[in-house]
Structure 1
């Protein structure tokens, strides 16, 4: 599934020509606050390569999100992640600041959950969120994820939400 759309967004499989948009997104301190911090362009280039390889290996991964008029809005996807030494599959999303508070994250989280659980028939998906990121926690709750546990990741206190098929 290289493409999908929601009511207000279109999503296309991550490609090399998305690098400039991702660099801009990852250089924004406000956006990157809950993504592990601002990423230098070289780090984003490696991130892009890693996530493109994920697609090749697993048949799913990250998509670039655009508004219906074609403006870059952010990125989102489904990907493998190691949490507490367990291979989990998470939904992930990040939006440019001007798209915050408008329901786009909830719209995408619901779509990703459907793609993961129904289309790919994955047994469950997680959302991994910094404890202090109340907005993202509400997004997962709106998408019917249940709070499962607290843990630490890369020195940060996080919570894991889960949705099951």
Structure 2
């Protein structure tokens, strides 16, 4: 199997159509979806019609996907996914960092390990100039991962939530890491 990126404990590969059941299980966990949908699972129909096409999309500036399936290197177990995707289809300058991991992967440092590796690859090989990430202000776990990866708080903002979920009244936060700051930290 071809991997986009490997770390000591993770293997990140391109998504395929055959990943639908893995995504249905991941997005079916209320705790995984807590800060995304308020805990409501994503329907299999939505996974097939919207989620999978988004994850399979190839970005022209890289000729690669911006989302990768994450597996535990030692066991091959599917852990979830990571995102490092260009915000502009034709330019890798600004990318969004994201991750969604199964509960079995929580608290084991996988989110930080995978995110750091993607950030390093983005700046070192992919022409990235700025990494941005956002989450609900109350999502302290995700915010801590961003901080461990070297991203700094930029702003607090109120998103346009189609449906309010618990914690959304506190708004969202944006973090960033620029190439210049990344280079100074190496």
Q: TM-score, normalised by structure 1?
A: 0.88
Match of 1:42 among 38, 41, 45: 45
Change in Cα spacing, 1:70 to 1:9, as seen in structure 2 (3 Å) is: same
Alpha-carbon separation, structure 1, partners of 2:95 and 2:59:
16
Comparing both structures, which one devotes a greater share of its residues to strand?
1
Query: Pairwise mapping of residues 11-160 of structure 1 onto structure 2 (< 5 A)?
Result: 11-37=12-38, 38-45=41-48, 46-53=50-57, 55-58=58-61, 59-68=64-73, 69-81=75-87, 89-155=95-161, 156=168, 157-160=171-174
Displacement of 1:134 after TM fit?
Answer: 0.5
Name whichever of 17-26 and 147-156 sits farther off.
147-156
Which one has a bigger Cα radius of gyration? 2
Aligned residues: 160
Alpha-carbon separation, structure 2, partners of 1:153 and 1:81:
17
* 4+ runs deviating over 4 angstroms: none
The Cα RMSD (Å) is 2.0
Alpha-carbon separation, structure 2, partners of 1:136 and 1:95:
11
Q: TM-score, normalised by structure 2?
A: 0.79
1:105-158 deviation per Cα after TM superposition (whole angstroms, max 9, x unaligned): 110110111122222111101111110010110101000001001112232411
Alignment gaps of 5+ in structure 2: 162-167, 180-186
Displacement of 1:81 after TM fit?
Answer: 5.0
Alignment gaps of 5+ in structure 1: none
